[in-house]
C-alpha cells in the first residue's frame, strides 16, 4: 500500500527496502521478493514463485556464495535491519529461543544497527 514501508527477508533477517522503492515497490522488477523470506530466490537470482522461500536445501556452492555476497554487499550494506523472521527467534516447537541474541548473529554489526 502507498505510504507503507516495504520489507523483505533474506537469511531470516528482515530489511526495510523502502528507499529502493523503484526496485521493490508495486510494479517494480523485484516486487515479487517483498513480504516474505526470499532467501532461495536471492541465491538463485530467481523470481520464480517456487524459489521465493527461505529454504536453501540443494543450493550449489556457487549459489550459496552469491547469496552471501548479495546479503552482505546489497541488503546489509544498503538497507536497515528491522527484525528477524520467526525461524531465527523461535525453536522448532514454536517456543522462544532463549539463546537468540542479535549480537551473536553472523551479520550483526553493532555500529551499523545502533
In the prediction, which pLDDT does 105 show? 60
What averages of pLDDT result for each successive group of 10 residues across the chain (114 residues)?
90 93 94 95 96 93 95 93 80 75 58 43
Q: Give the pLDDT of residue 44.
A: 97
> Which superfamily is assigned to 7-88 in CATH?
Cytochrome b5-like heme/steroid binding domain (3.10.120.10)
Q: Which residues contact 97 (CB under 8 A, 6 or more apart)?
A: 88, 89, 90, 91
Per-residue confidence (pLDDT) for residue 99, from 0 to 100:
77
What is the reported pLDDT for 110?
47
Whole-number pLDDT of residue 2: 78
Buried b (16+ CB within 10 A) or exposed e, 65-82: ebbeebbeeebbeebebe
Amino acid at each position: 500500500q502507498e505510504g507503507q514501508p516495504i520489507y523483505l527477508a533474506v537469511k531470516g533477517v528482515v530489511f526495510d527496502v523502502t528507499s529502493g522503492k523503484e526496485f521493490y515497490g508495486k510494479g517494480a522488477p523485484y516486487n515479487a521478493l517483498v513480504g516474505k523470506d526470499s532467501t532461495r530466490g536471492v541465491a538463485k537470482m530467481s523470481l520464480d514463485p517456487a524459489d521465493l522461500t527461505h529454504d536453501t536445501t540443494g543450493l550449489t556452492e556457487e549459489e550459496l556464495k552469491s547469496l552471501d555476497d548479495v546479503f552482505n554487499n546489497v541488503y546489509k550494506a544498503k538497507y536497515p535491519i528491522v527484525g528477524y523472521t520467526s525461524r531465527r527467534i523461535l525453536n522448532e516447537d514454536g517456543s522462544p529461543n532463549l539463546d537468540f541474541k542479535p549480537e551473536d548473529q553472523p551479520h550483526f554489526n553493532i555500529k551499523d544497527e545502533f
